[in-house]
Amino acid sequence: MTSPRAPRTSAPAPRLIATDLDGTLLRDDKTVSARTVAALAAAERAGIEVFFVTGRPARWMDVVSEHVHGHGLAICANGAAVVDLRAGGTFLKVRPLERPVALDVVRALREAAPGISFAVEQTTGIHYEPLYPPFFLDPGATIATAENLLFEEAPGAAAPVLKLLAKHPELDPDEFLAVARKAAGHLAAFTRSSPTALIEISGPGVSKASTLARCCAERGITAEEVVAFGDMPNDIEMLSWAGRSYAMGNAHPDVIAAATDRTSANDEDGVAAVIEQLVAEVAAAR
């Protein structure tokens, strides 16, 4: 296990907290603890903005929608969408995976990893292949081949694709990610957030980090003023970009290597513990 990267010296006061959800802010039972709710509210009162930055789609953000406080914004689908949770998950910005590119990725991965199955996450919902594990939260999904799901009569006629999901029944998760990147990494961005062999595929250059950087730039917030939290490989770019970053006690080894610091596990309120310290720092500096 590699040691965390060295923190940047003389960091300015935090202005924005960027936190992953599953395995990070949320407990394993998918709830937000009372301590975490209080910490998020304290950050807001201290003038520190909080962004939820997740692989989840907008429609699965009900777990935190009551805790968005003044801003209400979230970065979803690994950076492919910025949504307003106060407006029921309205899409403010979309960075799509273009359908012709997605089809090229599907062809390349079918050849590189036989047995693979796909799901297609659109702004309107998810659809998947017959062999893909069903999403019980999305009973209205269309079931068809990825090629059919990605077909459109004319460019722009169908809903934007936020990401592809690819599942393999046998490969080790990290091995599967490596195989996919080798086969089609020149076409799209590949990452993973599941403990199983499930990879998530976004448009070129799309990540939690790149979308967070754009949102921060719009607010005049620098990377050094951001504190980030995460636990899985889809958080690595964000943790590397932020001035201060924390890998959870339950984090993947590569995440630990990317972060400047560590905190306790998600079931031990690791994010809340750090936020409490940050709020105390801000209060002491005033």
Q: Residues of the chain whose pLDDT is less than 50?
A: 1-3, 7
pLDDT for the residue 1: 37
Q: Which domains does the chain have, with CATH numbers?
A: 16-94+207-285 (3.40.50.1000), 99-202 (3.30.1240.10)
234: CB partners within 8 A, 6+ apart: 20, 55, 78, 191, 192, 193, 200, 207, 208
pLDDT for the residue 3: 45
pTM, two decimals, is 0.92
180: CB partners within 8 A, 6+ apart: 109, 112, 113, 166, 190, 199, 201
**CA–CA separation, 52 vs 65, rounded Å?**
10
Identity at 56, one-letter amino acid code = R
Strand partners, 82: 75, 93
